[in-house]
Structure 1
Amino acid sequence: MTSFTEIINQKKPVLVDFFAEWCGPCKMMSSILKEVKAELNDEVSIIKIDVDKNQSLAAKFQVRGVPTFMLFKDGKQVWRQSAMLQKNDLISVIKQYS
């Protein structure tokens, strides 16, 4: 199994979605993330982290609310936002670091 560190150390941007099953806005973001992935294809990796199942990782990155999005490039966090986002806003952030 690939570790979180290996995943975020990719050359391309990696969008991490910290979410929870019980979170309504998180469920709404799921379809938006699918659209982002469909549009950007291999320009970005998108991974979802369930904060209830990965509490230590959520604590390490001080995730206090869901959804929280983080963008990593070469293992470094380059952007972060806790809130719902529109598809075009996410795409423009990712493209800044592509």
Structure 2
Amino acid sequence: MSKFGDLINSPVPVLLHFCSDHNVECNQMNKILEDVSLEMGDKLSIIKIDILKNKELTEALRIKTIPTLMVYKNGAMVWRQSGMIDKSSLVTIAKAFN
């Protein structure tokens, strides 16, 4: 968990994408996040977390549905959503925390 703390303790917003490579919606979300990354550049960090390889973290954060997206800033969760979201909405959310 200390590595997780290092990931989220940043003044730049960090978007965590909890997913599985075997999930269709997660794969669709990956494409959307690539576009968000291109638009936001260094104003947003995006980290993909495979729930099957990170079961302890998934349980600790009570991830029940994938994809689940979370935004952390300075170590605190500032936004969370389960399910799909479009690029425009994600960019708006990311910009709100810059």
Bin for the TM-score computed over the shorter chain: over 0.9
TM-score (norm 2): 0.96
Ranges in structure 1 where 5+ consecutive residues have no aligned partner: none
Name the amino acid aligned to 2:74: D
Ranges in structure 2 where 5+ consecutive residues have no aligned partner: none
SS in 2 for 1:12: coil
User: Please, what is the CA RMSD of the aligned residues?
Assistant: 1.0
Question: Within 1, Cα distance between the matches of 2:34 and 2:22?
Answer: 19
**What residue is the counterpart of 2:20 in the other structure?**
20
Question: Within 2, Cα distance between the matches of 1:12 and 1:50?
Answer: 22
Q: Deviations over 1:67-90 (max 9, x none)?
A: 000000000000000011100000
SS in 2 for 1:49: strand
Name the amino acid aligned to 2:34: K
Instruction: Give % identity.
Output: 38
**What residue is the counterpart of 1:75 in the other structure?**
75
> Deviation above 4 Å: which 4+ runs of structure 1?
none
**What residue is the counterpart of 1:66 in the other structure?**
66
TM-score (norm 1): 0.96
**What residue is the counterpart of 2:86 in the other structure?**
86
Name the amino acid aligned to 2:62: Q
2:47 matched to 1:47? yes
Equivalent residue pairs, number = 97
Deviation at 1:96, TM superposition (A): 0.7
